[in-house]
Structure 1
Amino acid sequence: MRVAILGVGGVGQVSACEIVKSKYLQKLVLADISIGPAEELAAELRRETDVEIQVKRVDARDVSSVQSILTDIDVLLHIGLPENNFEVMKACLNTKTHYIDTASSGPQWLRKQLAWTDKFKAAGILGIMGLGCDPGFSNIAARYAVDQLDEVDEILIRDGDNSVVDYDGFCSFFSPQTAIQECLAKPNFWTADKGEQYLPTPFANKEEFEFPEPIGWLDCYNVEHEEATTLGETIGRAKGCKYVDFKYALHPDFVNTLKVLSYLGLDSDEEIEVKGVKVAPRDVVVTTMPKPADLAGKIHGYSSVGALVKGKKNNKRKEVYVYTIANHDEVYYKTEFQATIWQTGIPPVVAVDMIAEGLLTTTGCIPPELIDPLPFLERLKARGMTWDVIEKTAPLRQIS
Structure 2
Amino acid sequence: MSSKLKVAVLGVGGVGQVCADELVKSDYLDKLVLGDIATGPAELLADELRGLTSATIEVYQVDASNTDSVASILHDIDLVLHAGLPEFNFNVMEACLRTKTSYIDMASVSPAGLKEQLSWDQKFKDAGILGIMGLGCDPGFSNIAARYAVDQMDTVESISIRDGDNSEVDYDGFCTYFSPQTAISECLAKPNYWTAEQGEQFYPTPFANKEEFEFPEPIGWLDTYNVEHEESTTLGETIGRAKGCKYVDFKYALHPEFVNTLQVLSYLGLDDDEKISVKGVSVAPRDVVVTTMPKPADLAGKIHGYSCVGAFVKGTQGNHKLEMFVYTMANHDEVFQKTEFQATVWQTGVPPIAAVDLIAEGKLTLKGCIPSELIDPVPFFERLKARGMEWNVITKTSPLLKMASNI
TM-score normalised by the shorter chain: which range applies?
over 0.9
Deviation, 1:47, is 1.8
> Normalising to structure 1: TM-score of the pair?
0.99
2:232 & 2:241 partners in 1: Cα distance?
13
Deviating more after overlay: 221-230 vs 388-397:
388-397
- Counterpart check, 1:324 vs 2:328: yes
Q: 1:257 aligns with which of 245, 255, 261?
A: 261
Residue type of the partner of 1:68?
S
The runs of at least 4 consecutive aligned structure 1 residues that moved more than 6 Å come to none
Identity within the alignment, %: 75
For the aligned residue pairs, the C-alpha RMSD in angstroms reads: 0.7
Give distance in 2, aligned partners of 1:72 and 1:90. 16
Query: Within 5 Å, which residues of 2 pair with 1:8-23?
Result: 8-23=12-27
More displaced stretch, 373-382 vs 43-52: 43-52
Q: Distance in 2 between matches of 1:30 and 1:136?
A: 22
SS of equivalent to 1:241: coil
**Structure 2 residue corresponding to 1:30, chosen from 22, 34, 50:** 34
The answer as to 2:333 corresponding to 1:359 is no
2:379 matched to which residue of 1? 375
Write the distance in 2 (CA, Å) between the matches of 1:387 and 1:159.
14
- Cα displacement (A) at 1:195: 0.2
- Report the 3-state secondary structure (helix = DSSP H, G, I; strand = E; otherwise coil) of the residue aligned with 2:161: strand
Q: State the distance in 2 between where 1:285 and 1:176 align.
A: 9
In structure 1, C-alpha distance between the alignment counterparts of 2:364 and 2:55, rounded to whole Å: 24
Q: Distance in 1 between matches of 2:402 and 2:263?
A: 45
Distance 2:110 2:85 in 1: 12
* SS of equivalent residue, structure 1 residue 308: strand
Query: Which of the residues 135, 138, 145 maps onto 1:131?
Result: 135
2-side partners of 1:277 and 1:26: how far apart? 45
| Cα separation, 1, equivalents of 2:162 and 2:381 | 18
Whether 1:111 aligns to 2:105 is no
Deviations along 1:290-325, whole A, 9 cap, x unmatched?
000000000000000000100000021100110000
CA distance, structure 2, for counterparts of residue 276 and residue 83 of structure 1: 26
Give the structure-2-normalised TM-score.
0.98
- The correspondence for 2:60, drawn from 56, 63, 66, is 56
Aligned equivalents of 2:236, 2:302: Cα separation in 1:
37
- Aligned to 1:47, the other structure's residue is in SS state helix
1:151 aligns with 2:155: yes
Shift in Å at residue 397 of structure 1? Answer: 2.5
- Counterpart of 2:387 in structure 1: which amino acid? R
Provide the residue aligned with 2:219 in structure 1: 215
Amino acid at match of 2:220: G
What letter is aligned with 1:128?
I
Is 1:203–2:207 an aligned residue pair?
A: yes
**SS of residue matched to 2:267:** helix
Matches within 5 A, 1:193-342: 193-342=197-346
Structure 1: which 5+ residue stretches go unaligned?
Answer: none
- Alpha-carbon deviations, 1:69-111, whole Å to 9, x = none? 1111000000001000001000000110000000000000000
SS at match of 2:178: coil
Matched to 1:161, the amino acid is D
- CA shift, 1:399, in A, is 5.8
Work out the CA distance in 1 between the residues paired with 2:360 and 2:328.
25
Number of corresponding residues = 400
1:396 CA displacement: 1.0
